[in-house]
Amino acid sequence: MASISIPVLVLWGDEYPFTPVDGPVGKYFSSLPSQLSNVKLIVLEEVGHCPRDDGPDLVQEKLLP
């Protein structure tokens, strides 16, 4: 990730059953915004594995700005 210089927006569903935000992969991505200025992480509430299906309005709200 350190070699990526373009802006990165990570949308993560807090109800993702396979890769929870408090698991190893989730912790890695949660740590990135404090290490890399181009990375932003947004945890979407009540959203699971497919954010665009589980919370399309939330995803659109975060992508449009």
- Is 25 a member of any domain? yes
Rounded distance, CA 49 to CA 36, Å? 25
What pLDDT does residue 32 have?
Answer: 96
- Is 32 a member of any domain? yes
The dihedral through the CA atoms of 23, 47, 50, 2 has a sign that is negative
What pLDDT band is residue 2 in, cutting at 50, 70 and 90?
A: confident
Quote the domain boundaries for residue 41: 15-63
55 burial (CB, 10 Å; 0-12 / 13-18 / 19+) is buried
Rounded distance, CA 13 to CA 19, Å? 9
What pLDDT does residue 65 have?
Answer: 82
pTM for the full model?
0.86
- Is 7 a member of any domain? no
The count of domains in the chain is 1
- Is 50 a member of any domain? yes
- Is 5 a member of any domain? no
